[in-house]
């Protein structure tokens, strides 16, 4: 597998991120246009409204389909990083760290974790800034 670093660590799933996104947006736009045309003509307003409601349900499902698994992955990452930090230092992670910061710290090597976690908490570093400070990158090929 290709060595991971800041420039190439973002993972995209083409079917979801490109194809399905366009399909859902096209459905919503088509439903809105259909409703507007129906309102202008005065015909099929209820069916156009029903189609718009279904398109809205598709959009909501599309969003939740992404959010729920990410929340589960965040919980697993928080547990893994808390355990890794405790094993390396004998102390729990700083409670000031946000979920985004902890997710970013997972890329730090064991040698860098303590220093970066302290800096992240004290300097309120963004996840992007944390990733940019990592010298020895620890790959994560599981999260999309």
The pLDDT-based confidence of 1 (bands split at 50, 70, 90) is low
Domain that holds residue 108: 14-133
Residue 3, domain member (yes or no)? no
Residue 106, domain member (yes or no)? yes
Residue 2, domain member (yes or no)? no
pLDDT digits (tens, 9 = 90+) for 10-45: 777 889 888 999 999 999 999 999 999 999 999 999
Residue 112, domain member (yes or no)? yes
Residue 124 backbone class (left: φ over 0; alpha: ψ -120 to 50; beta: rest): left
Residue 7, domain member (yes or no)? no
Residue 109, domain member (yes or no)? yes
As a whole number of angstroms, the distance between CA 98 and CA 127 comes to: 9
As a whole number of angstroms, the distance between CA 34 and CA 45 comes to: 9
Q: Residues with Cβ < 8 Å from 73, sequence gap 6 or more?
A: 143
pLDDT at 86: 96
Which one-letter DSSP state was computed for residue 43?
Answer: S
In this prediction the pTM is 0.74
pLDDT digits (tens, 9 = 90+) for 64-104: 999 999 999 999 999 999 999 999 999 999 999 999 999 99
Residue 9, domain member (yes or no)? no
As a whole number of angstroms, the distance between CA 57 and CA 15 comes to: 19
Q: Please give the tally of structural domains in the chain.
A: 1
Residue 86, domain member (yes or no)? yes
């Amino acid at each position: 597998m290709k060595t991971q670093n800041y420039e190439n660590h973002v993972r995209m799933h083409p079917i979801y991120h490109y194809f399905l996104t366009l399909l859902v947006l096209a459905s919503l736009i088509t439903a809105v246009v259909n409703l507007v045309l129906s309102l202008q003509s005065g015909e099929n307003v209820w069916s156009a409204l029903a189609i718009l409601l279904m398109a809205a349900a598709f959009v909501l499902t599309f969003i939740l389909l992404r959010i729920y698994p990410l929340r589960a992955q965040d919980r697993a990452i928080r547990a893994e990083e808390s355990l890794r930090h405790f094993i390396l230092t004998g102390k729990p992670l700083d409670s000031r760290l946000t979920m985004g910061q902890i997710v970013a710290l997972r890329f730090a090597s064991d040698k860098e974790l303590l220093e970066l976690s302290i800096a992240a908490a004290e300097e309120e570093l963004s996840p992007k800034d944390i990733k940019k400070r990592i010298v020895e990158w620890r790959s994560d090929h599981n999260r999309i």
